[in-house]
């Protein structure tokens, strides 16, 4: 009983901070979403009921951003999982300079995504970039930011360079802490290297793979930084994620009511994905 | 050597090469560009290289750039919000780890906060900051960053508290120490590696933050990421300066990441895995 009271006292500062800076704004966004609230009538919002929700749900821009976010999430998360798994298995061997290679792979993850975006932008710059220069040497001239398929590839590869390290290091550490007996037993029974990976190591890793997947999926769903720096959501609105869409509606169009309605809708969409992920993790005993 | 052996070595070499090209080349290119002179960059030739520090001198000392202001704001916002988040979460992490306060639901709640897209909080926070006059103010940034550092700090510290054997605390309690005394005199000193790890991780994530900084600052409270990305549009052709700004901006995080490599897995998974 006394311990319970002490526990509550210890937790209160944290809870109060979270409630006032995240939960309260979340509730406040409901208020905003049922009002016409723009830069012009910021201090005198007019109650408009569900108008903003109707506007958001019937807006092709909003749905285009949802589609793009989901596509981006599916492609980057699966590509990063595959490459990260491959690299972690590849570097399981003993080799000279392994620590150096591991550190090298980790570095992109440390760089602020906005700065990383600028970095890629310089790499691809048609005057000073290394990639266009190399392509010119073999007679190819191309623009990286005008056709959707090329822009999309650039964005996916950028995300992969930055976040494959995340998948890699977690799986790499997990592989090293796997019990050795089942693996050795499989080898003694005549299993090939590939069979050991497929039927012994990956099944033992699956909980951790699930955990990594939840992180990567949720982080891809929020994508903003690198894409905003690299394309600003263009060409047109073809690479506008939900985050970029809401950002633009709020800051560039100044329509806070509509932005808040989109926020509420996006909150529920994210909660669907998140609760599915958390349920999987709980069932697997990871959380 | 057998054919098989040659293929194996070739495969090994190609993979290592791809790792270098993918993960090191962009960084190497930017650092290299940052040390090239203006003329050397614009000549568009990759075969000539005139070493120069002019980009760094311009970025750091030319009053026309707001870079040092961004650097300073980032430093203040990242370090203060890190310290505050740690201070707020030490007691909470202890309570949840030892007294099981809130049980699994509190942990899930905080965990979800880390996973939900920050844009969800951005629009109402933007309005609230405008109302309270904290827009474009480092204080506003510190308050928000502190809150968004809480999940990481709380969950990582909790995992470190769990690593401390509870027998030490129990023996102190039988000697007449109460919970607060135990936390203050026994757990806190033993938690030091955890505090360093959680602190560095929070610093890295705050230093990298872009969305809130872009939304909530205009001129006075701009952070390094905002200034650097403004360079790209405003100083379109000063590639050298852009490259040196990026280089300076990434140094603290790279050093910190390499320093806490041991605790990286724990930090990235919010304490779910110990690495």
Compare all CA atoms of chain B with the CA of A120 and give the residue at the minimum distance: B26
Give the pLDDT of residue B54.
Answer: 84
Cβ neighbours of B11 (radius 10 Å): 11
Compare all CA atoms of chain A with the CA of B251 and give the residue at the minimum distance: A111
Q: Which of A109, A276, A105, A283 has its CA nearest to residue A206?
A: A283
> Which CATH code, of 1.10.287.130, 2.60.40.10, 1.10.3720.10, 3.40.190.10, is assigned to B58-268?
1.10.3720.10
pTM of this prediction?
Answer: 0.92
Given a contact cutoff of 8 angstroms between Cβ atoms, the answer to whether A129 and A122 are in contact is yes
Alpha helices in chain A (DSSP H): 2-18, 24-33, 51-57, 60-90, 98-110, 113-123, 130-137, 148-176, 180-188, 193-196, 202-221, 225-230, 242-251, 256-283
Average pLDDT over residues B94-107: 86
Mark yes or no for CB contact B119/A6 under 8 Å: no
Tell whether A26 is covered by a domain: no
Mark yes or no for CB contact A118/B42 under 8 Å: no
How many angstroms separate the CA atoms of B221 and B230, rounded?
14
Residue with tokens 């993960």: B23
Q: How confident is the model at residue B165 (pLDDT cuts 50, 70, 90)?
A: confident
Using a 10 angstrom Cβ sphere, with 0-12 exposed, 13-18 middle and 19 or more buried, the burial of residue B218 is exposed
Total domain count, chain A: 1
Give the pLDDT of residue A31.
Answer: 87
* Residue numbers in A near B223 (CB within 8 A): none
Q: How confident is the model at residue A264 (pLDDT cuts 50, 70, 90)?
A: very high
Tell whether A56 is covered by a domain: yes
B208: nearest CB among A6, A112, A128: A112
Range of the domain at A273: 47-283
Tell me, rounded to whole angstroms, the distance of Cα A21 from its chain centroid.
23
* Residue numbers in B near A174 (CB within 8 A): 273
Q: What is the mean pLDDT of chain B?
A: 88
Tell whether A3 is covered by a domain: no
Give the pLDDT of residue A7.
Answer: 86
For A178-201, give the DSSP string. Answer: S-HHHHHHHHHTT--HHHHIIIII
Give the pLDDT of residue A63.
Answer: 93
Mark yes or no for CB contact A127/B253 under 8 Å: no
Mark yes or no for CB contact B242/A118 under 8 Å: yes
Q: Which of B203, B198, B211, B200 has its CA nearest to residue B116?
A: B211
ipTM above 0.90, yes or no: yes
Contacts 24+ apart (CB under 8 A), A134-142: none
Given a contact cutoff of 8 angstroms between Cβ atoms, the answer to whether A57 and A265 are in contact is yes
Residue B212: helix, strand or coil by DSSP?
helix
User: Which helix (H) or strand (E) is A36 found in, with range?
Assistant: strand A35-36
Residue A77: helix, strand or coil by DSSP?
helix
How many CA atoms lie within 13 Å of B212's alpha carbon, on the beta-carbon side? 28
Tell whether A245 is covered by a domain: yes
Mark yes or no for CB contact A127/B42 under 8 Å: yes
Tell whether A205 is covered by a domain: yes
Residue B236 predicted with pLDDT over 70? no
Using a 10 angstrom Cβ sphere, with 0-12 exposed, 13-18 middle and 19 or more buried, the burial of residue A38 is middle
Average pLDDT over residues B106-132: 90
How many angstroms separate the CA atoms of A78 and B91, rounded?
38
Record the tokens describing residue A220, joined without a space: 């891809």
How many angstroms separate the CA atoms of A41 and A62, rounded?
24
How many angstroms separate the CA atoms of B262 and B252, rounded?
17
How many angstroms separate the CA atoms of B37 and B92, rounded?
52
For B:176-235, CB contacts with A below 8 A are 179-180, 183, 204, 207-211, 214-215, 224-226, 228-229, 231-232
Indicate the domain borders of chain B.
3-55, 58-268
User: Which helix (H) or strand (E) is A35 found in, with range?
Assistant: strand A35-36
Average pLDDT over residues A219-227: 93
How many angstroms separate the CA atoms of A144 and A1, rounded?
64
Size of interface A-B (CB pairs under 8 A): 274
Residue A111: helix, strand or coil by DSSP?
coil
Over residues A34-85, the pLDDT tens digits come to 888 887 777 778 788 888 898 888 888 999 999 999 999 999 999 999 999 9
Cβ neighbours of A44 (radius 10 Å): 9
Give the pLDDT of residue B275.
Answer: 64
Average pLDDT over residues A10-25: 90
Q: How confident is the model at residue A172 (pLDDT cuts 50, 70, 90)?
A: very high
Angle at A156 between CA A140 and CA A238, to 5 degrees: 85
Mark yes or no for CB contact B96/A243 under 8 Å: no
Give the pLDDT of residue A36.
Answer: 83
Given a contact cutoff of 8 angstroms between Cβ atoms, the answer to whether A116 and B32 are in contact is no
Over residues B27-79, the pLDDT tens digits come to 999 999 898 887 777 776 676 677 888 888 888 888 778 889 999 999 999 99
Given a contact cutoff of 8 angstroms between Cβ atoms, the answer to whether B225 and B209 are in contact is yes
User: Which helix (H) or strand (E) is A143 found in, with range?
Assistant: none
Using a 10 angstrom Cβ sphere, with 0-12 exposed, 13-18 middle and 19 or more buried, the burial of residue B1 is exposed
DSSP state of B262: G
How many angstroms separate the CA atoms of B25 and A171, rounded?
24
Mark yes or no for CB contact A104/B23 under 8 Å: yes
Higher pLDDT, A192 or A70: A70
Tell whether A203 is covered by a domain: yes
For B:11-70, CB contacts with A below 8 A are 15-16, 19-20, 22-27, 29-30, 33, 41-42, 44, 46
Over residues B171-215, the pLDDT tens digits come to 888 887 888 888 888 888 889 999 999 999 999 999 999 999 999
Residue B152: helix, strand or coil by DSSP?
helix
How many angstroms separate the CA atoms of B175 and A178, rounded?
41
Compare all CA atoms of chain B with the CA of A258 and give the residue at the minimum distance: B123
Give the pLDDT of residue A1.
Answer: 54
Tell whether A31 is covered by a domain: no
How many angstroms separate the CA atoms of B168 and B191, rounded?
13
Residue B1 predicted with pLDDT over 60? no
Give the pLDDT of residue B102.
Answer: 81
Over residues A89-135, the pLDDT tens digits come to 999 887 888 889 999 999 999 999 999 999 999 999 888 888 888 89
Higher pLDDT, B274 or A138: A138
Give the pLDDT of residue A37.
Answer: 82
A104: nearest CB among B24, B146, B226: B24
* Residue numbers in A near B100 (CB within 8 A): 7
For A211-265, give the DSSP string. Answer: HHHHHHHHHHHT--HHHHHHTTT-STTTT--HHHHHHHHHHTS-BHHHHHHHHHH
Tell whether A22 is covered by a domain: no
Over residues B138-164, the pLDDT tens digits come to 999 999 999 999 999 999 999 999 988
Tell me the torsion sign for CA atoms B28, B30, B35, B38.
positive
Average pLDDT over residues B242-264: 92
Compare all CA atoms of chain B with the CA of A22 and give the residue at the minimum distance: B121
For B:118-137, CB contacts with A below 8 A are 118-128, 130
Query: Is the bond leading into A235 cis (omega within 30 degrees of zero)?
Result: yes
CATH code at position A130: 1.10.3720.10
Q: How far is A27 from chain B (nearest CA, A)?
A: 9
Compare all CA atoms of chain B with the CA of A207 and give the residue at the minimum distance: B273
Residues in CB range of B183: below 8 A, 6 or more apart: A10, B90, B91, B94
Record the tokens describing residue B258, joined without a space: 């390499």
* Residue numbers in A near B95 (CB within 8 A): 6-8, 10-11
Q: How confident is the model at residue A273 (pLDDT cuts 50, 70, 90)?
A: very high
């Amino acid at each position: 009983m006394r311990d319970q009271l002490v526990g509550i006292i210890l937790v209160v500062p944290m809870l109060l901070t979270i409630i006032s800076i995240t939960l309260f704004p979340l509730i406040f966004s409901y208020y905003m979403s049922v009002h016409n609230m723009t830069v012009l009538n910021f201090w005198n919002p007019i109650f408009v009921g569900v108008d903003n929700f109707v506007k958001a749900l019937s807006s092709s821009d909003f749905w285009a951003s949802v589609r793009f976010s989901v596509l981006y999430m599916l492609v980057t998360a699966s590509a990063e999982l595959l490459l990260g798994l491959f690299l972690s298995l590849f570097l399981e061997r003993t080799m000279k300079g392994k620590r150096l290679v591991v550190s090298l792979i980790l570095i992109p993850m440390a760089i602020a995504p906005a700065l990383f975006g600028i970095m890629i932008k310089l790499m691809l710059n048609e005057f000073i970039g290394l990639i266009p220069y190399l392509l010119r040497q073999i007679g190819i001239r191309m623009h990286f930011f005008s056709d959707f398929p090329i822009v999309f590839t650039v964005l996916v590869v950028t995300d992969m360079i930055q976040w494959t390290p995340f998948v890699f290091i977690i799986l790499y550490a997990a592989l090293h802490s796997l019990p050795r007996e089942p693996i050795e037993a499989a080898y003694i029974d005549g299993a090939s290297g590939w069979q050991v990976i497929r039927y012994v190591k990956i099944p033992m890793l699956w909980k951790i793979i699930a955990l990594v997947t939840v992180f990567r999926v949720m982080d891809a769903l929020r994508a903003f930084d690198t894409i905003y720096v690299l394309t600003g959501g263009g060409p047109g609105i073809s690479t506008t994620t939900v985050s970029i869409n809401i950002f633009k509606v709020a800051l560039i169009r100044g329509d806070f009511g509509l932005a808040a309605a989109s926020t509420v809708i996006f909150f529920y969409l994210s909660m669907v994905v998140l609760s599915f992920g958390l349920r999987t993790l709980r069932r697997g005993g990871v959380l | 050597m057998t054919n098989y052996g040659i293929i194996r070595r070739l495969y090994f070499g190609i993979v290592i090469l791809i790792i270098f090209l993918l993960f090191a080349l962009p960084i190497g290119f930017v650092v290299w560009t940052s040390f090239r002179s203006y003329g050397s960059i614009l000549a568009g030739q990759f075969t000539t290289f005139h070493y120069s520090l002019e980009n760094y001198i311009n970025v750091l000392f030319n009053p026309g750039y707001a870079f040092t202001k961004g650097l300073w704001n980032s430093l203040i916002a990242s370090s203060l919000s890190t310290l505050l988040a740690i201070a707020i979460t030490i007691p909470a992490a202890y309570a949840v780890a030892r007294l099981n306060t809130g049980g699994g639901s509190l942990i899930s709640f905080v965990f979800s906060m880390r996973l939900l897209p920050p844009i969800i909080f951005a629009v109402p926070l933007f309005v609230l900051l405008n109302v309270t006059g904290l827009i474009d103010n480092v204080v506003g940034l510190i308050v928000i960053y502190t809150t968004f550092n809480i999940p990481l700090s709380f969950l990582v510290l909790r995992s470190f508290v769990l690593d401390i054997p509870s027998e030490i605390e129990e023996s102190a309690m039988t000697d007449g120490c109460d919970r607060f005394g135990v936390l203050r005199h026994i757990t806190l000193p033993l938690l030091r590696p955890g505090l360093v790890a959680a602190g560095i991780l929070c610093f890295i994530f705050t230093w990298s933050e872009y969305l809130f900084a872009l939304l909530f600052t205009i001129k006075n409270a701009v952070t390094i990421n905002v200034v650097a990305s403004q360079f790209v549009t405003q100083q379109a052709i000063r590639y050298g300066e852009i490259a040196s700004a990026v280089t300076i901006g990434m140094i603290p995080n790279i050093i910190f990441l390499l320093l806490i490599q041991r605790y990286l897995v724990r930090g990235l998974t919010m304490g779910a895995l110990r690495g």
